């Protein structure tokens, strides 16, 4: 389970082993929406400018959703890891997403360049957290 507070939107984002991503209004407590993903989720990041949420799961997949006030739309999914994703880090300046995995690798996904570039970084001998 992971929880992320987005001050600019007054949203509370959460993921869990139940395979659901949900978001709530932090002012009213009202659930604004949810989205079912393919496996238990274990990584969560959000970009305020684009309202994109990045979700990493135990199957090694990254799901990108566009959030609106009360709905979401699937932008894309990425696969590149052979193990479950254990860490996500979003760089809003370079518009790059990093995913770490139990497969001992980190993948740098070029989101902002829209070229579909993914670079795999090796060097760990155990799960990347």
pLDDT value of position 43: 93
Q: Inform me whether the pLDDT recorded for 22 exceeds 70.
A: yes
Domain positions in the chain are 2-122
d(CA 107, CA 119): 6
CATH number, span 2-122: 2.130.10.10
pLDDT value of position 97: 95
Q: How far apart are the first and last CA of the chain?
A: 15
- For residue range 86-123, list pLDDT tens digits in order: 999 999 999 999 999 988 888 999 988 766 677 776 66
């Amino acid at each position: 389970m992971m929880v992320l507070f987005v001050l600019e939107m007054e949203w509370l984002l959460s993921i869990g082993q139940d395979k659901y991503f949900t978001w709530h209004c932090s002012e009213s407590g009202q659930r604004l929406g949810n989205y079912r993903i393919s496996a238990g989720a274990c990584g969560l990041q959000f970009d305020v400018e684009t309202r994109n949420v990045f979700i990493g799961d135990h199957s090694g997949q990254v799901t990108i959703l566009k959030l609106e006030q009360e709905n979401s739309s699937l932008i894309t999914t990425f696969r590149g890891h052979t193990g479950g994703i254990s860490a996500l880090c979003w760089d809003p300046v370079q518009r790059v997403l990093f995913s770490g995995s139990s497969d001992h690798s980190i993948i740098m996904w070029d989101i902002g360049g829209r070229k579909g570039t993914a670079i795999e970084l090796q060097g760990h001998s155990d799960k990347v957290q």
